[in-house]
Structure 1
Amino acid sequence: MATIIYTHTDEAPLLATYSFLPIIEAYAAKAGVEVETRDISLAGRIIAQFPDRLTDDQRQSDDLAELGELAMTPDANIIKLPNISASVPQLKAAVKELQEQGYDLPDYPENPQSDEDKEIRARYGKVMGSAVNPVLREGNSDRRAPSSVKAYAKAHPHRMGAWSPESKTNVATMGKDDFRSNEQSVVIESDDTLRIEHVAADGTVTVLRPEVKVQAGEVVDGTFMNVAALRRFLAEQIARAKAEDVLFSVHLKATMMKVSDPIIFGHVVQAFFPTLFEQYGAALKAAGISPNDGLGALLSAVTSLPEGDAIKAAVQQGLDDGPDLAMVDSDKGITNLHVPSDVIVDASMPAMIRTSGHMWGPDGEEHDTLAVIPDSSYAGVYQTVIDDCRAHGAFDPATMGSVPNVGLMAKAAEEYGSHDKTFEVPAAGVVRVVDGAGETLIEHTVEPGDIWRACQTKDEPIRDWVKLAVTRARATGAPAVFWLDETRSHDAILIAKVRSYLPDHDTDGLTIEIMAPADATAYSLERIRRGEDTISVTGNVLRDYNTDLFPILELGTSAKMLSVVPLMNGGGLFETGAGGSAPKHVQQLVKENYLRWDSLGEFFALAASFEHLAGHAGNRGAQVLADTLDRATGTFLENDKSPTRRLGGIDNRGSHFYLALYWAQELAAQTEDSDLAAAFKPLAETLAAKEQQIVDELLAVQGGPADIGGYYRPDAEKATGVMRPSATFNETLASL
């Protein structure tokens, strides 16, 4: 039997799975397609790391590792929903919840000293940050808005905030002494094993990473951020925001960049509250309270300290003395500095640009903002968009073009910060990368506290990336632009490789350009305003940014994108959009039994998965499922059956019912497979006849609280009960 793997992940996508997966399983089975599940949630990943501490009933397999092996085979067909890329506060919260559920897990050691604590810290390190994506993404990314979604967005444009030519919103970035300016890159000539080491001023050598295996043709980069320069920069921007009377906000990637960006976030917290840390820094450190975890964790932890009240007063004084902080939730007093994973740059910056360049202030109103993005690698992209909006006004979703993306990410390409090659420098000296023969390839002079990091990009993924870019340009006729800056060390090497590999493909009649990111942004925006499409061909981090930036402007969300990863060994990985809004949706469900999560991304990924299966396994029924699901999704959009914005309309569960109805009708009406048509005709008729009854049952549960038995690890029985409240629908589906 042909098989699709559907992943259990976290938060709103996981809750939606409890409702949608039974529909998928029932429909797929009729066409001889088996749907299996694997748990790659944060809680599941944690549990898999500690089998030695758990009972037989509690243990579970390392599903992520299993899928990583599957992704390297031609048979892979994996649907991946958004998952938590855990920051330290999220990890701690998940561990606490699991402990309360009876799992004998150790606390996360903040400052491990013993060998046991270091070993525990290493296990937790495997599940933090972007732990899932590098394992599964054995191919490069093809991400675009399906034509049906784009057509719907043009016919029903989402709201865009007006822009004023006098807007004071801007991006602030370092421009020097940062990761971008200090980058050094080399191409490895032959397979080797490198070593990363720190050489102190007195000549003492400390090995930071003993073995980094590399292949011939691979690009290896090393860089660092000068922390003294960072702190000067932050102090200047805090003063600037105060002087310009705009909100202060910082935008980082404390999830994917799980080591470097939480440290930078901690420096921002310290810079904003200098008096607090001058007076109480030692006491906070002695109590194990780290600014890297954010203001929220600090305020919660100090209640048990003798100086707790004084520390809280110092925090309030800092808020009074500084510029107004941008808010995550002004009603609850949650600031931009409360939680490092609350303001993720790729989601927060497009949302700000879409909302007139505004963020929410402490007064609950919108205000112009100074958006601080310390590293200058891609900050210019956002400044270019802001300048364009200031000059030309907001974009018009009814007429604007698209910017689909071809992203370099296979084999953990450019995975800065998501691995164990990032270090907070312990002492003055030199950090260097040394090859197997003892030759120094990369070397930086560093000071205590500087943040040094390295990454790898193998040659095979680069070749595949170029091929995919040409393939998409040929399929669409749109220009393909490689967003590469010849003045940056890593990009200069990639430009040479791109120019070397392009002649391997037929590019006659195609427009293929290479531009620095800010220039590529300006070029794409000019075309967008004319209603023209432009393919952005980018590295991994910029892929993450662009596949939120442009969809949020075009569609109002990045969750409605089709994300296909053609795996290099012939399999397929189908991703379902972004999960940035997932936490708020869970909070709403628990409060009023209403889940606003839109599963449209899941619909697109599922259709692409069926289509891939049809071609790979020769399953005609899978192709029928794909074709009918595509048509059903078109009807779903045309009839506007996505979750409504507020209580009283259909939510995620109602949207799944309507997708099931339209899909059954399409299957019953199709002529390619008479057996499938006969199987689905009674279901289609029954669902249509009982439509109002089912909708009434789904609406009846709204308004009161919902108990799902846990945030990071819901109770399966409770979550199923909450997400499948219509007995009529459940019974009708079971009859299939």
Structure 2
Amino acid sequence: MATIIYTHTDEAPLLATYSFLPVIEAYAAKAGVGVETRDISVAARILAQFGLADDALAELGELATRPEANIIKLPNVSASIPQLKAAITELQSQGFDIPDYPENPSTPQEQETRAKYDRIKGSAVNPVLREGNSDRRAPGAVKSYARKHPHSMGEWAPDSKTDVATMGERDFFSNEQSVVMAADDTLRIEHVATDGTVTVLKESLPVLAGEVVDGTFMDVAALQAFLAQTIERAKAEGVLYSLHMKATMMKVSDPIIFGHAVRTFFKPVFDAYGDDLAAAGLSPNDGLGAILDGLDKLSNGAEIRAAIDAALAEGPKMAMVNSDKGITNLHVPSDVIIDASMPAMIRIGGKMWGPDGAEADTLAVIPDSSYAGVYRTVIDDCRRNGALDPATMGSVPNVGLMAKKAEEYGSHDKTFELPADGTVRVVNSAGDALISHPVSAGDIWRACQTKDVSIRDWVKLAVNRARATGSPAVFWLDQNRAHDANLIAKVREYLADHDTDGLTIEIMAPAEACAYSLERIRRGEDTISVTGNVLRDYNTDLFPILEVGTSAKMLSIVPLMNGGGLFETGAGGSAPKHVQQLVEQNYLRWDSLGEFFALAASFEHLAGYDDNAGAKVLADTLDRATATFLEQDRSPGRKLGTIDNRGSHFYLALYWAQELAAQTENTDLAAVFKPLAESLVANEEKIVAELLAVQGSPADIGGYYRPDETKATAVMRPSTTFNEALAAL
């Protein structure tokens, strides 16, 4: 029997799985399709590091290199240090014998423990599974629905003060150096102090011929001066101050930058009490919230709290994550993630929520200038032309370079906060320095690799999508950036391997490419963005949020380079707020539409690989059922008393059963599903009533990072009638 691997991940997608997976398993089994699960949640990955669970991520990483791979990957937590610590505490409370996270490891055992936990931080899952490049686009049914039922868009004022502030010099963009390897080699990264002391930062960095290797650094003195200037600017202009980072994917560099922002905003506090906070293990890198939570441990905690309040009152008004609870933009590094926060701000008219609970113009602070110009371009366009119109606008699908950990800047073991002045060098096996940077203590240095085979596949995928759609494909690459200059040369070389007659394929710097795409989408035209890995992450939130209201509704396919398929369920994050609402009100707002699209693509891929006609019927009928689901507006509502995630799963099951019963390609399947379709229709009112009846009271799922399976199943499957109908199938 052919098999689909469905992943257990974290937070809202995990809870939704308890409800939706029984539907998938019941329907797939009737078509001879097996469904297995693998747990790659942050909790499971912690346990695997200490031998307390199978290493499902490693298993799937190996599977992704084989042609039979068929993996459905739901959004997972890209754990920040506060999230990691919270997961550790929860697992310890559940009886698992795992050590605390060592902040400052001093013994070999602590260093080993820290290394294990560091493997879990940040975007640790995606690089393992993504043995192919990314094809993300809005499905036709979603785009059609958005045009018929356009989501709300805030009004843009021509005199809006909202703007993007970025460094532009002495940052990662401007300091980057890049080389293309002439032959296979093993490199070494080292720090040479001013007194000549050599410290090896990374002993072995294997590289292949044709591989692009980059190194760059953030000048922390320049960063601090920039942050101080933006704080004064926001105050002078009377706009909200908001820092936009990627402290999850950029798990080493961005929390450090975030910490500098906290330290700069609260400079009087750290000048007076910095030693006290450090002695108590309270780091600005963990955010203001962690510091406030830890003040009770200090004898002068009340005094420090008062100083923090004074600094908040003295500085510019802060953009808020939750104004009712006083949670600011600087409270938690993982609360304001640039790829979600910037398009959300743009969508509501260039505003964020202030301390008074009202919307206000905002200074969006994006320290590194690599891609800040993309957001500035959209803001300038909206200020000049008004908000985009979802009823008429075109689309910007994405072909993203990510195979074999391409461009994984900041999320791996090649990022360092430097302890002393000196030089960082990348040295080849002959002892030659390929990359060299003069650095100061505290600077943040990082490197990345991009395999030649990944670039070749990326170019091929871009050409294939351009030919399949007839849309222009634009490579968002900047000749003035070292890495991009090397990629441009390779792109031009590899485009010659393909028949591009009749196709429009361009290369533009990101801000220019964004302006070109905006001009086209305002005319209702589509433009494929062909981007590197980080910009892939940004664009697959930016444009979908403006086009269809959310990135969770995207079709995300990763054609694996060895023939298998990885099907991702949208780019909507793992929705921690939805879990909080479920626990408080037994109501889950998570929209599983991304899961529906990924599942249909998975069935279709499996049908081709395994010559399984039943799987093809499942794919086709699920596509039609999802279109009906959208037309009938069965996505979760926004308030109690409407159907939530569980109700949406019921309606998808109903429409899918009806499509299966009505199809003529496989009469045996039609006969099997006819009684179920009739049963679900007959009991619709009863099932919906059972699903609604549980709303409004707290729900016990037995854990946040590792829910109790029995409790979570009971919470997510409260309709006895629906459960019995599936069991009868």
The normalised TM-score by structure 2 is 1.00
Name the structure 1 match of 2:15. 15
Would you say 1:25 and 2:18 are equivalent positions? no
Would you say 1:86 and 2:79 are equivalent positions? yes
User: Are the aligned partners of 1:2 and 1:33 in contact in 2 as well (CA < 8 Å)?
Assistant: yes
Would you say 1:386 and 2:379 are equivalent positions? yes
Amino acid in structure 1 at the alignment position of 2:652: L
Name the structure 2 match of 1:103. 96
Structure 1 counterpart of 2:211, from 218, 236, 261: 218
Would you say 1:707 and 2:700 are equivalent positions? yes
Name the structure 2 match of 1:176. 169
How far 1:174 moved relative to its partner? 0.2
Q: Deviations over 1:656-684 (max 9, x none)?
A: 00000000000011011111011101101
* C-alpha separation in 1, matches of 2:570 and 2:607: 23
How far 1:384 moved relative to its partner? 0.3
How far 1:503 moved relative to its partner? 1.0
Q: Deviations over 1:245-288 (max 9, x none)?
A: 00000000000000000000000000000100000001111111
Name the structure 2 match of 1:548. 541
How far 1:104 moved relative to its partner? 1.1
Q: Deviations over 1:83-124 (max 9, x none)?
A: 000000000000011111111111101111111111100000
Would you say 1:296 and 2:289 are equivalent positions? yes
Structure 1 counterpart of 2:399, from 406, 411, 434: 406
How far 1:581 moved relative to its partner? 6.0
Structure 1 counterpart of 2:361, from 359, 362, 368: 368
Name the structure 2 match of 1:480. 473
SS at match of 1:432: strand
* C-alpha separation in 2, matches of 1:581 and 1:589: 14
Would you say 1:458 and 2:451 are equivalent positions? yes
Q: Deviations over 1:173-209 (max 9, x none)?
A: 0000000000000001111100000000010000000
Would you say 1:671 and 2:661 are equivalent positions? no
Q: Deviations over 1:416-449 (max 9, x none)?
A: 0111000001100000000011110000000000
Name the structure 2 match of 1:286. 279
SS at match of 2:619: helix
Give the alignment of 1:483-632 within 5 angstroms: 483-580=476-573, 582-632=575-625
Amino acid in structure 2 at the alignment position of 1:699: L
User: Are the aligned partners of 1:13 and 1:579 in contact in 2 as well (CA < 8 Å)?
Assistant: no
Give the alignment of 1:206-285 within 5 angstroms: 206-285=199-278
What's the C-alpha RMSD, in Å, of the aligned pairs?
0.5
Name the structure 2 match of 1:50. 50
* C-alpha separation in 1, matches of 2:724 and 2:277: 57
Name the structure 1 match of 2:316. 323
* C-alpha separation in 1, matches of 2:685 and 2:341: 39
Amino acid in structure 1 at the alignment position of 2:428: D
SS at match of 1:331: coil
Would you say 1:35 and 2:35 are equivalent positions? yes
* C-alpha separation in 1, matches of 2:300 and 2:413: 36
* C-alpha separation in 2, matches of 1:632 and 1:286: 59
User: Are the aligned partners of 2:366 and 2:372 in contact in 1 as well (CA < 8 Å)?
Assistant: yes
SS at match of 2:90: helix
SS at match of 2:261: helix
Q: Deviations over 1:369-397 (max 9, x none)?
A: 00000000000000000000000000000
User: Are the aligned partners of 1:252 and 1:265 in contact in 2 as well (CA < 8 Å)?
Assistant: yes
* C-alpha separation in 2, matches of 1:446 and 1:521: 33
Would you say 1:62 and 2:55 are equivalent positions? yes
* C-alpha separation in 1, matches of 2:109 and 2:122: 22
Would you say 1:193 and 2:186 are equivalent positions? yes
Amino acid in structure 2 at the alignment position of 1:486: Q
* C-alpha separation in 1, matches of 2:425 and 2:191: 7
How far 1:579 moved relative to its partner? 3.4
Gaps of 5+ in 2: none
* C-alpha separation in 2, matches of 1:665 and 1:248: 52
* C-alpha separation in 2, matches of 1:372 and 1:622: 48
* C-alpha separation in 2, matches of 1:577 and 1:348: 16
Amino acid in structure 2 at the alignment position of 1:214: V
User: Are the aligned partners of 2:629 and 2:635 in contact in 1 as well (CA < 8 Å)?
Assistant: yes
SS at match of 2:670: helix
User: Are the aligned partners of 2:214 and 2:447 in contact in 1 as well (CA < 8 Å)?
Assistant: yes
How far 1:580 moved relative to its partner? 3.1
User: Are the aligned partners of 2:295 and 2:301 in contact in 1 as well (CA < 8 Å)?
Assistant: yes
User: Are the aligned partners of 1:9 and 1:82 in contact in 2 as well (CA < 8 Å)?
Assistant: yes
Name the structure 2 match of 1:56. none
Count of equivalent residues: 729
* C-alpha separation in 2, matches of 1:189 and 1:140: 24
* C-alpha separation in 2, matches of 1:270 and 1:287: 16
Would you say 1:471 and 2:464 are equivalent positions? yes
Gaps of 5+ in 1: 52-58
How far 1:302 moved relative to its partner? 1.4
Amino acid in structure 1 at the alignment position of 2:455: I
Amino acid in structure 1 at the alignment position of 2:18: Y
Name the structure 2 match of 1:132. 125
How far 1:722 moved relative to its partner? 0.3
Q: Deviations over 1:688-722 (max 9, x none)?
A: 11010000000000011100011111000000000
How far 1:129 moved relative to its partner? 0.3
How far 1:577 moved relative to its partner? 1.0
SS at match of 1:332: coil
Amino acid in structure 2 at the alignment position of 1:176: E
SS at match of 1:504: coil
* C-alpha separation in 1, matches of 2:530 and 2:571: 19
SS at match of 2:496: helix
Name the structure 2 match of 1:338. 331
Structure 1 counterpart of 2:626, from 617, 633, 649: 633
How far 1:60 moved relative to its partner? 1.3
User: Are the aligned partners of 1:170 and 1:383 in contact in 2 as well (CA < 8 Å)?
Assistant: yes
Name the structure 2 match of 1:728. 721
Name the structure 1 match of 2:673. 680
Report sequence identity in percent.
78
Amino acid in structure 2 at the alignment position of 1:156: H
How far 1:655 moved relative to its partner? 0.3
* C-alpha separation in 2, matches of 1:605 and 1:578: 12
User: Are the aligned partners of 2:76 and 2:574 in contact in 1 as well (CA < 8 Å)?
Assistant: no
* C-alpha separation in 1, matches of 2:463 and 2:49: 41
User: Are the aligned partners of 1:83 and 1:579 in contact in 2 as well (CA < 8 Å)?
Assistant: no
Would you say 1:431 and 2:424 are equivalent positions? yes
User: Are the aligned partners of 1:636 and 1:659 in contact in 2 as well (CA < 8 Å)?
Assistant: yes
Name the structure 1 match of 2:641. 648
* C-alpha separation in 1, matches of 2:49 and 2:151: 43
SS at match of 1:649: coil
* C-alpha separation in 2, matches of 1:695 and 1:144: 32
Q: Deviations over 1:449-503 (max 9, x none)?
A: 0000000000000000000000000000000000000010000000000000001
How far 1:289 moved relative to its partner? 1.0
SS at match of 1:3: strand
Amino acid in structure 1 at the alignment position of 2:690: E
SS at match of 2:334: coil
SS at match of 1:640: coil
Amino acid in structure 1 at the alignment position of 2:17: T
How far 1:561 moved relative to its partner? 0.2
User: Are the aligned partners of 2:550 and 2:572 in contact in 1 as well (CA < 8 Å)?
Assistant: no
